[in-house]
Every structure is written in C-alpha cells, then in structure tokens.
Amino acid sequence: MKIPTLLSLFAACFVAGSANIEENVGQFFSSGHTNNWAVLVCTSRFWFNYRHVANTLSVYRSVKRLGIPDSHIVLMLADDMACNHRNPKPATVFSHKNMELNVYGDDVEVDYRGYEVTVENFLRVLTGRLPPSTPRSKRLLSDDRSNILIYLTGHGGNGFLKFQDSEEISNVELADAFEQMWQKRRYNELLFIIDTCQGASMYERFYSPNLMALASSQVGEDSLSHQPDLAIGVHLMDRYTFYLLEFLEDIHPASKANMNDLFKVCPKSQCVSTPGHRTDLFLRDPGSVLITDFFGSVRKVEITTETISLTDPIKQVEEIAVHGEQEKETYSYVDQLPVSEIIHQKPKQKDWHPPDGFILGLWTLILLVFFKSYGAKHLKHIF
Amino acid sequence: IIIGVPLWWRTTETYRAWLPVSQIQELANLELQLSADVEVVFARGTVTPEQQKKIPLTLSQDDEHVVDEDTSLRYRYETRYRTATIMEEDALNQPTAAEADLSLHMLSESPCGSLVVYVVPESTSLLPEDVEVYIGQRRTALLRIGTQMRVGRTLDQLLDHLEPRIKKLLQLMSFSHTDITAALSDRVRLSPGNKESIADSMRAFKSSPGYEITFSLLNPDPKSHRLHWDIEGAVQTFIQPLLTKLEPLANFSIDSQILYYAMLGVNPRFDNSHNAYTLNADSLAHVINPVEARLGSNAASSNPVLNFLLYVPDANHSPLYIQDRKKQQVPSNAFHSPRWGGIMVYNVNSFYGPDVAFPVDININMAKVMGVFLAQLRLLLGVQSSTPPPGFLVAPCGSSGLADWELDRLMWSRSVENIATATTTITSLAQLLDQIGNIVINDNIAQQVSSAVTSLQLAVAELESGNLGFALQYSKEAILASERAFFDPSLLHLLYFPDDQKFAIYIPLFLPMCVPILLSLLKIASEVRQRRRDKQTKTD
C-alpha cells in the first residue's frame, strides 16, 4: 500500500521537476531580448560637480561587472574629474568618503567626453542619426531585441535637464526621441533612470510602449548629495545613486532579484527626496523583470544539436600566396621634413606684396594731416 | 503690413523639399501577394489513359489572410499539371532518390521561386517504406501517390487527393503563413505564439545589407598546446560556397584571429561518472561575456557581427564536455547564442599520450569544426531547420550547405521582411516630418524617399508576378534608401519651441511698436465718430 503511494509521490516530483525545467526554458525566452546596451550620461562640468561624474562611473562599473561589454556601453562624461588639476588624488574618482571605492578603475572607456556631450549628440546617439564618419564605439547599434538602460545625471528642473551649463533638453524632446526609437524598433525594452532635482518631471511625457522609468525625486523636490569628503573637498556622490550602487554591489550575474527590489532602493528616510517610478507603459509585470535584464548581459543560449558532415578535402590556398609575392611592391616613406633646407638654412626668397592695410592707413593719415595743416596751395612751394 | 508679413513669413520658413506623401500613405496599407509556380509531373503508372487526356491543365489557387487592419496577404499558387517526358522517366528509374534527384536536375533547372513535384507510382522503389514525400537538394520533390488511387477515379478526385499533401509540401518548401507573419514582425506586433516561434524569431539576425563573420581560436594554454588550424583553406572550401550562394541576400566579410590565454568565464566541474570536466547548460550563459570583452572587432561598418569561437581546453581541464539540461552529453559539443554566434569546445587530449613533451603540436580537424560552425551559421542567418512533418524525408543539404529550396524560402521571408521594414520606415518618417513642421527637408532626403517609394512599388509588383530574384533586389534597394533617408544626420529636430517661448520672443519686439499704432487707431476711430456726429448735427 505504501509503495504505490511513495512511487506516485516520486512520479509527481519528477513530473514537477521536469515541468520546472521546462519553465526555466520558458523563462529564458520570456524577456524577449538577446543583447543589452547602456547609455550613461553625465551632463555637468566643473570641479564642484564631481558627484555627477562619480554617479555615472559607479553605474558604469556595475554594468560592466554584471557583464555588458564596452562595445555595448556609450559613456558620456561632460568633464574630466580624474585628471582635473584640482584633484588631490589624480587618476581616481571615489564614490565613498575614506576613499574606499575607486570607480574610475583601470579600463574605463569614455565614448563622448568634455564638450562632445551636448544635447544634439545625445539625441543623435539615441535616434541613430549620426554622420557616417562616426566610429562604431560612439554609436548605439541596438536592434529590436535590445534592452537598453539609460542613466542621466546632472542638474535639472521641472521638465528639463541642463547640459554643460549652457543648454537644456526638455522632457518633450526626450519623449519624442524615444518615440522615434520605437518607430524604428531600436529597443525591445528601455529602463530610464534619472538622478537630478525634480527628476520625475522628465518621465512625465513618455508615450511610447515598453518604457520603465525611475527618478530620484518628485517634482518640487531636490535630490541631495550624500556626503562630502574633506580631503578631496567636494561632495562625492548623490544619495540616490549611492544607495543604488550599494544595492547593485549585491547583484551578481546569476541573481534573480527583480524590479520591485529596485523600486525600494533609497526610501525617503535615507534619500530625503521621494524616489518615483513609472511602469504604466511597460508591458510586463515589474515583478517578473530581472535586474540583470537591464543591468547585466545574460545571454540566451541554445545547444547546437545538428551538424553538417563535410567530406571535401580542404583546398590549398597556396596559389594565391605565389601571386602575392610577385605583386609585392616596395614602399618607401616620403620625406617628412624638408631636411635639406633645415641643414643648409638657405633663406627663402620672399615675394613682394603690396603694402598692408595698416601701412596704407598710416600714410593716408599722415598725408591728410600734412595737407590740412599746410593747405593745398602751398604744395607748389614744397615741390 | 503688405511688405512686412510676407517677408517675415519667408524668412522664418524652413526649406522643405516635396515628398510624395500620397504614395507613402498608399504604401501604409500593405497588401502583399506572393506567387509561386508549381509544376506537378505525373510519372508513368500514376494516371490512367483517360485521365491522361485531360492533362495538361493549369489551375491557380488563392489564399487570403488578413493580418491586421493595415496588412493583408494573399498567397497564389499557379499549378501546372503535365505528364512526364521520356527523359524524365529514365531519370526516375534510378535506384535511389538522391540519384534520381541529380539526374532530374541535369535535365532542367527550375527558376528561382518555382517548384517541381514528381508524382511517382505506389510501387516505386525510390522512396523507402514509410516515406511519402522526398524533398531533394534542388527545387524538386518526389511524391508517392496513395494506395486508394486505382483505375476508375476521375481526374478531379485524383487532384483532390493530392492537394493536401502538395499544400503541405509547398508550405515546407516555399512559404508558410507562420514564416511570413514572422517576417512581418516589424510592422505587426503579434502576440507571441508558442515558445518555439519566439525562439525562432529571436535567433536569426534581422535582414541587413551585410554581415561580418569572425572566426576565433581560443587557446588558454599555449605552454601545453601549439595549435595549427588551416582557417583560410577551411573557409574557402566549406564556408565560402554557402556565402556565394547567399550573395543575393547580403554581403559577407570574413576574418579570423587567434587569442592566447583567453579563459572561459566559468570553472568547469569534474564529473566522476564521465571522467571528464563538464559545463552544464545553466552556466553556458555566463561563458560568453568575459570572452566577448577580449574579442574586439575590426568592423569599420555598422553591420552585425557573427562570432564563431573554437575553444581548446587547457591540459588541466581536458576533456571538457557540454551537458544539456537532461545531463546528457551533447554530441556536437557546441552551443550558440541567438543573434551573437556560436562556441565549440574541441578536446585535444586524445591526440597525445600522458608522457609527451609539452608543448605538443596539434592539427585541428577543420572539417569537423566547420561542420558545426556551418550548422550554427545556417541557424543564425535564418535558415529554419524545423522538423518535417511525418512521412516526409528531407535530403541532407549539399556541399554548399544550403539547398535551393531553402534559399528560396529565405529569399521570400527576407523580401517580405525588407518590404515591411521599409514601409514602416517611410511611413513613420513621413509622419514625423508632417508632425514637426520645423525640420528642414533637404533635396537629397526627398530623393532618397522617392527612390525608396519607387523601389517598394516595384518590389511589391515583382512579388505579385512571382519574380523572386528581382523582388529581393528591389526590396534591398528600398530598404537601403529608406534607412539612408531616415537616419540622415540633418533631420535632427532641436527646434522645440513651446508656445510660451514663442510669445516671449515676439512680445518685446512688437509690443512697443503696437502701442502708438493702437493709440493712433483709437484716435482715428474717435475722429470718425466725431465727424459723423457733426454731420448728423449739421443735417438736423
């Protein structure tokens, strides 16, 4: 009596186990993306905005650690803090006082730097309307199966974000840019994080599908910075990104944490401002979206089950080598410097130019004064 | 006002070249017709003499499907029935189906996009027992007539009997509704069907004018293994024929590299039961990322890159096997990632004994490696390898790696995909330019748009008439022109002026001028009123 029940229990376990495996397979493909991109932008310059560069670099570090390669990250930093002459510790950007974590690292690849970070370039990267001479590392080559993470930080206000202290991007332009990306199917899902004052105003105008947005503060609130470092002399990070970095440090590529955990980062007690999020345009339930869907790059993998049997012998490629040798040309450098002239120092013959404007003006002035003072009728006395 | 207002209008106008908006709107409503020519040839013994009198015969059949409110598809099959010629009969007398296929191909070559089905009698020895249909490497298929067919049936009943199998054959060899709707995914966001169709649509690269293929050999242990691979010869012999056959679809550029001291990102575990190191399926997903950072790419274009990696495990971790989810060893020892490429693990520990002086010279068997890579390349480029229905036998693809009918299928779905993408691009561009009145439309953009529209119309027309090669070519031109127009750098709209900003600009200019004008107008009005009152009092 007991044995059949035990057997049936075992059978049920097996069935459940195999169903679980099938579910895993299904979940593998449920997110619908095959590659990940990240666009990380810091929009403010000057030394006292150190914290914005540190914000962006800490997100960059997390994203790289979780697997997104540099070829899929577009990093835009408006100013150089690591090599700023006011930095007492050159080649470092710290995110925590007591200099615990250097987010600048050894292998930072900045794609847009300094004055290249403009509203125009940012919108060009998003919509893909770059001049043909732009190198591959400066392009966002996403397709309809890419999940993109966009992180903006800097100074902002109600409905705009300030770039480089001289121009602004408005929330309408940003929403239109995302709509153009959707029209051209340049993303599968997009996560938009913004850490500025009144950040929630920037995602108010979104209207394209599959967008999820997080902001560090609501309209009317300011985002505050975390703590200053007395040795460096500036505030090192903003509160929201500081706690975000703390949260992300616990995530590893195989982690199953989901977006609901991300929404809980930095409650009002820690952040002083109220972080907000917007998920109404997103088709999936945020509880089923993994953090690594956007911050990491977990590849979908399929086992190759079929092979093709090839039996032809390999053709030797020697004939091409023979021809190549016959056609080899000898190359030589063109003279880089006019060595003969430098050595012999022959003076160059200068061509005669008519007198310059200044000389002409000077002579006209002198003649005028001369004739004014002496009168024209005295001319015959002179000549 | 007469001079000023037109002057102000002209100077604040933006230059917008003319766009064929009406034609674009026509294109927004896409009605595609795909035509395929089918020839059904009856061999001796399949038809009675009186049935034979009514053949040759031509029938055409239409299948209409409405995908959504803007898109509808119509499939047209033009079927011609005839009897076999003497030479075809001789060809069908060959011992095996493969040889029959070859000799039939020698007789006549079917044009791109068409099919020939040979109906062979029940008792034929060409097909094995339980196989009804044999699909050859070119564009021919052999169909065994059923046992119900005996003397006395009419031609119509014969045709009715054959029709469902021919239809299934057509769906396999030409186009099926699921394939075409998957190709339309740019236009139509259908709710996903089963998991297999999602996986299929995610796996293949989207249609692109060119692809870059990179073969990399990863040698983490150069101290133990000195690897030699004849990649140039292997590519020339095995990969190049496939790429030459795929030339109407896209350009391909191939390069190769060898990376030393490149490790996989995961540590393989030693499995005592197999006496080898194993990588299980879950950890495979994390293998690719650390390697990808080191791969680099020398691609100067924006074409998608396919990476094929050959990993030779180091001597301490040999042999290394990949396990699938059921803990079985994978015979090909390879896996691929959708839209990225493939990785194969090649164990070399069997080539040398335990007491050998390191480093060992090893020649890699390129035929085996390229067999795997070719299969992965086929999958990634969109050649679907769906399992055939029961009773169907598919011939293995030839030395070029691609059967002709597979190429036709790919060409059909790519043409439809290109047309769908180009129409969405053009219509969204027209909508964008219409909505934002401030964008300047240069002449070259207008020219690209016009050429895209003409190419699209030509492509749709060629698809209707069944010229697959031309349809693909026009669709490629259309997509190139539309992408160039859409992504032109000059179309960036940075002139977002909210209304209050417009007021803020104009009021300080016009308000001071308006004040004296307004006052004088009031004065004129009061004078006229005064004069009229005076006139009235005068007349009184």
The tens digit of pLDDT for each residue in B313-347 reads 888 888 888 888 888 888 888 998 888 899 999 98
Handedness of CA B178, B182, B185, B190 (dihedral sign): positive
Measure the CA angle with vertex A277, ends A199 and B189; round to 5°.
115
In a domain, A172, yes or no: yes
Measure the CA angle with vertex B450, ends B19 and B416; round to 5°.
120
Compute the average pLDDT of residues A367-377.
Answer: 79
pLDDT at B498: 62
Q: Please name which of A194, A191, A198, A211 lies closest in space to residue A152, comparing C-alpha atoms.
A: A194
B338 with A302: Cβ contact below 8 A: yes
* Residues of A recognised as catalytic: 155, 197
pLDDT at A155: 92
Measure the CA angle with vertex A208, ends A40 and A298; round to 5°.
50
Cβ neighbours, 10 Å, residue B25: 12
Q: Is B425 on the interface with A (CB under 8 A)?
A: yes
pLDDT at A343: 72
Chain B residues touching residue A129 (CB < 8 angstroms): 487-489, 491-492
| Count of domains observed in chain A | 1
Cis amide linkage into residue B388, ω under 30° from 0: no
Which of A14, A123, A298, A314 is the mutation pick for testing B, counting most B CBs within 10 A?
A314
In a domain, A187, yes or no: yes
What digits encode the pLDDT tens for the residues B240-298? 888 898 888 899 999 899 999 888 878 888 888 878 888 888 888 888 888 887 887 66
Cβ neighbours, 10 Å, residue A79: 20
Q: Is A297 on the interface with B (CB under 8 A)?
A: yes
Q: Are B420 and B30 in contact (CB under 8 A)?
A: yes
A305 with B494: Cβ contact below 8 A: no
Q: Which two tokens stand for residue B125?
A: 């020895």
pLDDT at B91: 79
A35 with B487: Cβ contact below 8 A: no
> pLDDT at residue A335 above 80?
no
Q: Which two tokens stand for residue B150?
A: 């005996």
Q: Is B281 on the interface with A (CB under 8 A)?
A: yes
- Percentages helix, strand, coil for chain B, rounded to the nearest 5? 45, 20, 35
Cα B40 from chain centroid? 29
What region, left, alpha or beta, does residue B118 occupy, with left being phi > 0 and alpha being psi -120 to 50 degrees? beta
Q: Is A170 on the interface with B (CB under 8 A)?
A: yes
Q: Are B471 and B414 in contact (CB under 8 A)?
A: no
Distance (Å) from the C-alpha of residue A131 to the closest C-alpha of chain B?
6
Cβ neighbours, 10 Å, residue B197: 15
In a domain, A308, yes or no: no
Residue B410 exposure: Cα atoms within 13 Å on the Cβ side:
24
> pLDDT at residue A354 above 70?
no
Residue A277 maps to which CATH number?
3.40.50.1460
Which residue in chain A is spatially nearest to B376 when comparing CA positions? Answer: A304
Q: Which of residues 221-240 of B touch A (CB under 8 A)?
A: 230, 232-234, 236-238
Strand order in the sheet with B133-135: B57-66, B71-83, B30-42, B114-120, B140-144, B133-135, B392-394
Which of B195, B233, B285 is opposite residue A301, by nearest beta carbon?
B285
Strand partners, A213: A192, A278
Which of A160, A304, A306, A312 is the mutation pick for testing B, counting most B CBs within 10 A?
A304
In a domain, A328, yes or no: no
In a domain, A333, yes or no: no
In a domain, A28, yes or no: no
What's the predicted TM-score (pTM) here? 0.80
A304 with B489: Cβ contact below 8 A: no
In a domain, A155, yes or no: yes
Q: Is A145 on the interface with B (CB under 8 A)?
A: yes
Which residue in chain B is spatially nearest to A20 when comparing CA positions? Answer: B325
In a domain, A310, yes or no: no
Place of tokens 């080899």: A328
Q: Is B341 on the interface with A (CB under 8 A)?
A: no
Q: Is A67 on the interface with B (CB under 8 A)?
A: yes
Domain extent, residue A132, equals: 33-287
Phi, psi of B319 (to 5 degrees): -80, 155
Which of A72, A143, A299 is the mutation pick for testing B, counting most B CBs within 10 A?
A299
Chain B residues touching residue A71 (CB < 8 angstroms): 292, 297
Q: Is A159 on the interface with B (CB under 8 A)?
A: no
Percent pLDDT > 90 in chain A is 28
Chain A residues touching residue B493 (CB < 8 angstroms): 173, 176
Question: What's the rounded Cα separation, in Å, for the pair B269 and B276?
Answer: 8
Percent pLDDT > 70 in chain A is 82
Question: What's the rounded Cα separation, in Å, for the pair A187 and A201?
Answer: 23
Q: Please name which of A210, A366, A200, A380 lies closest in space to residue A279, comparing C-alpha atoms.
A: A210
Which of B289, B299, B494 is opposite residue A119, by nearest beta carbon?
B494
Q: Which of A132-141, A336-345, B158-167 has the highest mean pLDDT?
A: A132-141
